[in-house]
Amino acid sequence: MAKLTQLDSVEQVTAVLGGVGAVQDLTQAASSQVVSNWVARGRFAHHAYLVMTKALEELGYSAPPELWGITAPAEPATASSP
């Protein structure tokens, strides 16, 4: 599997997915204004995470869950050898 290109902002994700109208259609948001509000706030609605990250992956991209207000799991601690 090819490495996915990491996107780091709501603006980048919105652009890659085709803009405000395309994100509205993808997420079934009530209006384009809702999506514009997400962009202005710098965070997508958490309920849109799965559908948007699947669409990004299909295009060869990924984005951190924090862009949806979701806390990523902590990295597992590695055991140190004695």
What pLDDT shows up at residue 74?
83
| Greater model confidence, 53 or 79 | 53
15-46 pLDDT, tens digit each: 999 999 999 999 999 999 999 999 999 999 99
Residue 55 lies in a domain: yes
For residue 42, give Cα distances in angstroms to 9, 35, 36, 74, 77.
7, 10, 10, 22, 31
What is the spatial distance between Cα 14 and Cα 61, in angstroms, rounded to a whole number? Answer: 12
Residue 33 lies in a domain: yes
Number of domains in the chain: 1
What is the spatial distance between Cα 4 and Cα 1, in angstroms, rounded to a whole number? Answer: 9
CA end-to-end span of the chain:
36
Domain coverage including residue 25? 7-68
Q: What are phi and psi of 10, to 5 degrees?
A: -60, -40
57: CATH = 1.10.260
Residue 58 lies in a domain: yes
